[in-house]
Structure 1
Amino acid sequence: MKIPNQASALKFITCGSVDDGKSTLIGRLLVDTKAVLQDHLAGVQRSGETDLALLTDGLSAEREQGITIDVAYRYFNTEARKFIIGDAPGHEQYTRNMVTAASSADAAVVLVDAIKLDWANPDLQLLPQTRRHSLLVNLLRVPSIVFAINKLDAVADATVAYKNISGALKQFAKEAGITVAAMVPVSALKGWNVVTTENHDQADWCGYSGPSLLSILEDLPVTPAETDVAFSFPVQWVEKFHDSGVTTQGRRVFWGRVATGSVEPGQTVKVFPSGQTAVVSQVLSATRQPQGKAAGHSAGIVLDREVDVSRGDWLLAEHGSPEGQRQLSTTIAWMDDEPLVAGRLYWALHGHRWVKVKVQRVVHRLNVNTLAEEDATELPPNAIGHVTLALQEPLATLPFAQSRILGALVLVDTASHKTSGAVLVV
């Protein structure tokens, strides 16, 4: 028996429109891979039938309304790898929760409900929320996007439905510049083509002869660490280290996670925003052992001399690092209940650094139906648009297309402290 490779665990989310079968699909994956205990399975029986969606819908409001509200994470593994699944809500008003889940995902499975579409029409129109979620996961640079066309067991001609719907998805992906990793027909309720291709009557179901959804997920790559970008390190905690296990000459240890590049002893770094430079004396692992670290790994950094470094500061490579910016051209996925308008002040979080920002101008809003950039003076809830921000203090950012970490910020309301927007630097 092959042991799952923990290092290659895939974190993926399911998204799409309301009632497309996202929770049911995850329930099917869990049940058919035997990742559900018998007592848990018995607890989701309804009238003698297993309600797969209840395996992930844990909030009382979700069970009462039959919808997904918050992101539910579940874990399972096969012989090939381990998986972390995020069940994202489909309702438009909970788009903010879906964005949160997608920001750290390696892959996204976008479900499309065949029975909601005019599947017999070759020129059928996709649902707005299908388009919105697809655009969002693409904007958030989720590496692999898989379209799963669901409920094909409930249409009169599954072959025609799959052909027309997959054609519409391919056309939409081409217009939106979305690279599709795979497209697969499934029936989450019956389990067809989810874990195995051998659980339905037709050998060539829907005219599809490819692998099952699970087989596709087993082969998808994880998000690569940003080792090709110059070293950057957001300081999360400053420790005055006295343990005799490691000699630090009484100097402080700066703890955090290497965001980009790598760090080794002898490397010259500069402190942002102060601009002071120092040489890395030691790099400690989580167990306080001297060890160089690359992007994606936690580390403790000791410098060769005492410099003023606090939580929220960044340690950057001396050469090749981004310069501080006070004005940013951004794409924002707006998640607040109040619209985004010019002149408003917010807190922005970049790494562990907080700065005040002012909305200078709403340049345009993206029409998710036509993909056109429309002139706008505000962004309503769950809209996506191009916005110019002015910063009270500079931030060391890169375009999001170059770095998912250095190019991402979060906007927080100064009064309510609610997360208001996901910001991608253009």
Structure 2
Amino acid sequence: MTAARHTTVGIIGAGPAGLLLARLLHQAGIDCLVLEHRDRAYVEQRQRAGILEQGTVDVLRACGAGERMDREGLVHDGIELRYDRRAHRLDFPALTGGRRVTVYAQTEVVKDLIALQLASGPSLLFGAQAVAVEGADTSRPRIRYRHAGRERTLTCDYVIGCDGFHGVTRSAVPEGERRTYERSYPYSWLGVLAEVPPSSDELIYAHSERGFALFSMRTPTVSRLYLQVPNGTDPADWPDDRIWEELEARAALDTPWKPARGPLTAKSVLPMRSAVTEPMRYGRILLAGDAAHIVPPTGAKGLNLAVADVTVLARALTHLHHTGSTELLDAYSDTCLRRVWRAEHFSYFMTTTLHTDAHQTPFETRLQLSQLDRIATSPHAAAELAENYTGLPLE
């Protein structure tokens, strides 16, 4: 026997997009329910991005999820570019009129939003596997899901897919009604966590003929580090000493510099790809976050794009709730896609400028160095990078 219930907005996926949307709708008095396939422990341990744009920070504060972020997050006023054994710092506030970024891991954002949701609503079901979304072109779409050993049905006024690129929501849009633009890159990232204080107060993005390296952090005592590696790399082929030696070589300067070393507690390989699905709405189904777009992590845009999507979406659903007008909801896809493609281009630019393809020519390497030199010497080029990195204002 199938149990059924109804909600105004059914949200599939309890990542940051789904949880933040639920929080914003709850504040606006709009009924919703979040379905998450995994259990709470799994969701709170998923390692993802760690750089929050100024706009993301502002939204989290406004919805009541900013207290721990403000206490524990690391506010950064810039990044350092290293190339050709030189270093150049970009001063974000000076270049953008005061905008900054905050280092605060996505796992911590998720923990904060889950705690808020369980304390004061709206409803959140863990272990609820969405198996199908049906009736997208009707006035009452439905989500079929399994929970506590039973198959159930949730009818909704709207279904929001925050369940990733391979989720059931995106696949519920007929193939003839959607188009996906994709690009895969010929390299991946080997990411490691190190129990050692960061080697720099701010992130270091390093270009070298050996490949790209990124020096980041999670906390004042834990470093997050990345190396460009070939696709298909097995982390087991990279012992700790090899990783530290390669990080040091790729970030080398003409002046003495060595990264602080410590024990590595986690290693994983992250493929690099870009994808955009258009439109982000079909009937009563709307896509947000990774369900609609994926960016390589070089530009730190994945989580921030998801936050921008659901901020626009919450505003549109709130407008509908108060006025009965679908004007903002009808514009949702076009509004978000303008920002999505800007972020896709920035992520592509950062990725292709800082990484060295195994097959690229010396001519192409010189072009990369020329572009990095322009950023270092042109206030206009530096401001363009800084404005995109800290986040464009929400529409």
Whether the TM-score (by the shorter chain) exceeds 0.5 is: no
For Structure 1 versus Structure 2, the TM-score category normalised by the shorter chain is under 0.3
TM-score normalised according to structure 2 size: 0.27
Highest RCO, 1 vs 2 (Cα 8 Å, sep ≥ 6) = 2
Larger helix fraction of residues: 2
TM-score calculated relative to the size of structure 1 = 0.25
Please identify which structure carries the higher strand content: 1
